[in-house]
Structure 1
Amino acid sequence: MAPLNLLKAWLKSLRGGQRALLPGVQVGQARANAEALQAGLDLSSDGIVLLDNTGRVVAFNSCAQALMHSPLGNLQGADFWNAVPEEIADEYRSAAEQALLETGSHTFAVRHAFEDQWVNYCLRRHADGLLVTLKDVSAIHRASRLLRSSEACNQTLFDAHPQAMWLFDTGSRHMLAANHAAAALYGMAPEALGALFVESLFPDGEGGALLDSLPPSDFQQEMRLCTQKKANGERMLVELSCSSVQWALRPAVLVSVADVGARHLADAHLSRLNEELEMRIEQATGELQRSRGELQAFTSAMLHELKAPLHVVDGFATTLAERHGAALDAQGHHYLARIQASSLQLARLIDDLRTLTYLPSMPMTPERVDLAPVCQRLMDELHKREPARHLVLEMEPALPLVCDKNQISLALACLLDNAWKFTSRREQSWIRVGLMPGKNSAEIVLSVSDNGAGFDAAYTGKLFTAFERLHASVDFPGTGLGLAIVKRVAQLHGGEVWAVAADKGGASFFMSLPQNPQDADSVSGSPSAA
């Protein structure tokens, strides 16, 4: 209020000068007071205009002159309402004069459209006239405009949101607002819903206990499952998602409501279906196990019953050859040889069928095995069957592998027998056995390759199917079950099998076998002849 005090001192000196001529000292003092007053006004960051009791300007600062946008060049001595733009005087003069008479002060805000500037005028009466302060409040008005725009946008989003939502006051628990989706959910108008207390939405006093359980301070996404009632009294199972917010500068809770009755009914129905499905699976599993047991019993009995008459046929054929061979002509010896060969073929088929049938029930005992001695033993047995054959076996001195020894030995015997058979017409034949890394460090691939007759790549998919033959049995005899046994062994180990035909004859068969990383050895080096 320093400018006002200076004004009082200045006016006092003027009044004294009107009563008598002022001595030179008094005139100098008045001039000093006026200069001090102007200096004080110029120091203010707001616009200040001092008016006498007649409403004329007696002092002002440069900030006030800029904010007033006055049409006058000099404000000194001008009537205040003539000093401001005409449209401001027309709009605010009457109300300001009335308010000054009644309360002694009046405030209004003016917008200068061209500059997009808002100026706040504050008029206050004192004993010697009026004090007018002007303040640039453009930033406040722009922030207020943005705030109102944001609030309007939020309100629009709130009203149009498809999720049912409502707000209530934290203290009074009175509903503050509800959107259209909430009104449709509860079956009442948004205004009627917004006039309720929260507890009225809950049946049998459930609302009080639930709301009391919410955290007392700021919180986000508190989920509650409860029952609510509609306007017609119908109850519904809902899931409430509650979050603390500020609504119109008041602490409130925003509640999102989801009708989950249908979902819970669907979950209950799905649960019943799952129980029924599990029961059916259990029953089907039991029936499958019983059928499998019956099939195994039947297969065992059938193979046993087939083996007995087969031994009889082979025994009589052998006796016939020993006792009456001299009496038979060439045709008779041919028939007898065919009988013995067919008996041997049928015996091998029965053995392979028994092996293929009982493989899944064989105990699995993984252990660390060196396949090199196993391969050598199997090749020695093949050489005993055909001592005249000359074949080179190429393999590393050691072939370490983690597997079930009995099953892998069986699969390796089938692969080597297959390679031995299809290289029989080669003058210089070889079989190569090796190990190589698989798709990752937990897998090793066993490979058996040969330079035999090979196969047509178009029929690769049939190679590992039981009784599928890509060559005539007259050319390359066999049961047609060897590669099916290899595939079953690989599957029991959790691996796969595949084959690749060479361009100039020969074939390579592969079996992937999962390994534990700490048990699998890296495989490298050149093959050696055995």
Structure 2
Amino acid sequence: MSRFLDKFRINPKGSSPDACQQDASSVLPSIQQGWGFLDMTLDGIVLLDQKGCILDANDRALEFLHSALTAVSGFDIWDVVSQEIAEQNQESTQQALDTSAQYSFIAQQNFENNWLEYTFRKHPQGYVLNLREAGSTQRLQRLLEDSKRYNQLIFEANPNAMWVFDLTTLRIFAVNQAAVKFYGIPRKVFMTLGMDALFPEGEGVELLSSLRPSTDGKETQSEMRLCRQKKMDGKQVLVELAWSHVKWDGHQAVLVTLADLSDRHFADNTLKSANTELTQALLAQQDELKNVRNDLLAFTQAVSSDLQDSLHVAHGFAARLAEKYSLVLDDQGRHYVRRIQASISQLARLVDDLRTLAQLPLRNSAVEAVDLVPICQSLIAGLRKRDPTRNVTIEMTESLVLVGHKNLLTTALSCLLENAWKFTSKKPEAWIKIGVQPGKAVGELVLVVADNGVGFDPVYSGNLFTAFQRLHSSADFPGNGLGLAIIKRVAQIHGGTVWAESADKIGASFFMALPQAAANAA
């Protein structure tokens, strides 16, 4: 057996890890300096000694390994991963590390529909193993999360007191540690304040007037100015204050930076430079988010072509197998073929729904008054054609006029009717009602789709509109849990809201409230 196997397969499965652990006390201190920071990454990181035995691992790695640290510490890494992964990759990894300092491979997790990338790197005291999800969507999500985390670290670590408030509501929704210390206000309390609470009475109005666009529509440039700020103990201090218009987590917001004039070691140029660097970092983060969004769109386009083509081919071969070789297969074999066909169909529907969810913002048509009655009639006709044996009573008002994007409203209505049709399938006398009613806000209308299906437990109503959340078994009611998430996203694009009601798990009503005045102005 190769030298790598001699190093890495010290313990047979189930054996004592003592042989691996004998040098851990001398190796760990030098490797683990700064180990706490590793839990901030989305990667799993495992420390191995020269024999390939596990010394330590961060929380993300333990999630990938489906184990606690106490259960795997001291064991050979190849005894912790699945036997199939070990058999397929152990020897090739050894051969690669004999001649290079790094080697990577990708393997599918058993019984899980996901792939992991394993990267081994040599270390003076042994090896470092990085584990990360290898799917395209996960890579894009990791870029987005890393970008957000980088932005937050810059903001939080800045030595200048900084806080951010919403330009519309004036509510403070972000504050760094320097500001918490300067004002003496706990962070939780800080996040409940409006921006005027930090100024002596009336002085916040002057700042707000400076933030309004000029007569030619241009935003005012950031500048330094002297003003007073009020601390938690009521003490007022003179500060130099600067502000910048930013877009922060979807908010049109204002970033406020201040320097206490009682501590002059923060010179003017240093403060301006720090503010400029932060603004540039925020702009860079916005550019990165834009690039991630473009990458996501490219991914969805690939899904809609390459992946669907592959699924179509796989489904065709499965159908051919069932047709031509059904007499050769036994009952178990035919059952497997049916399961393959069902899984392919389910995956195809999931791909369609994911593409729909990702591309919703691009489907905006012109805002107009849309009568949903003919759209409902067409969608219901399609449902009846698909399931001609069902007898479902449809109640619908004569006029269902909403102002909005026709394409998006059609998508949402399709998901609502599909949902009602599915969950009334076990009712011998099913009915579905569609209507529009006034909302709570002025100028708001609410689209209502109700049914007498199985309903849901109101305790879990908060999970209904979350992607991939299901309150019923897929064996009873097939689906992928994206329909209601699509409905919520359509409402959000219109500036509206969604909710659902069910009484004692008998029937359900789904509501989508749309601000008609806002839609007219869009």
TM-score range, shorter chain: 0.3 to 0.5
From the CA coordinates, give the structure whose radius of gyration is larger.
1
Using structure 2 for the length normalisation, give the TM-score. Answer: 0.47
